Amino acid sequence: MLSTDAKLNELVKRLKEFAATNLECVILFGSAARGDFREGHSDLNVVCILRSLTVEELGRLANVVKWWCVDQKEPAPLFFTREELQQAADVFAIEILDMKHGRRVLYGEDVIAGIEVPMNLHRLQIEHDLRTVLLKLRQHYLRAPGNAKEL
């Protein structure tokens, strides 16, 4: 099994090989970028920015993602174009704030630095997520009243 840095270096190498000039940047985010990564418990979260995300471009990267997910047992990287990521700040407010507060550029330019996340939208996403969890908890409770293990 490869070390964390070796895995990340190999991922970038493979992405550069198969995406070529279409690859704009690769950014590590989350616990590994913040310094609180725990081997065997934490995931390596990666976002890749490509100039184009056509079906053909994604097809060229399928084996890289398969290697990363199956062989290295890491979650699939997130793939965006620069424009998609900038326009997603309202919909993925929590995720982009997480990226902004803990990231390490592995290749290319830091495209996350310039993204502004409106905090009112961040609050809305958090409220939506919490209310969704509360609704699911109520549903589970009603299906299994008094069964703590089932909840």
Asked whether residue 44 falls in the same domain as residue 105, the answer is: yes
Q: Which domain holds residue 21?
A: 4-115
Residues 43 and 101 in one domain: yes
- CA distance linking residue 42 with residue 22, whole number of Å: 29
Tell whether 124 and 146 lie within a shared domain.
yes
Residues 92 and 141 in one domain: no
Inter-helix orientation angle 55-66/4-19, to 10°: 150
pLDDT the model gives residue 55? 95
Q: What is the pTM of this model?
A: 0.81
Separation between Cα atoms, residue 109 and residue 82, nearest integer Å: 11
- Give 34-64 pLDDT, tens digit per residue: 988 887 788 999 999 999 999 999 999 999 9
Please tell me whether residues 100 and 122 are part of one structural domain.
no
Q: State whether 109 and 123 are in the same domain.
A: no
Task: Examine the pLDDT at 12 and tell me if it is beyond 90.
Answer: yes
Number of structural domains the chain divides into: 2
Average pLDDT of the chain to the nearest whole number: 91
Q: 98-111 pLDDT, tens per residue? A: 899 999 999 999 99
Q: How many residues does the chain have?
A: 151
Instruction: Inform me whether the pLDDT recorded for 19 exceeds 80.
Output: yes
One domain, residues 56 and 107: yes
Residue 82 has, within 13 A of its CA and on its CB side, a CA count of 11
Question: Do 84 and 144 share a domain, yes or no?
Answer: no
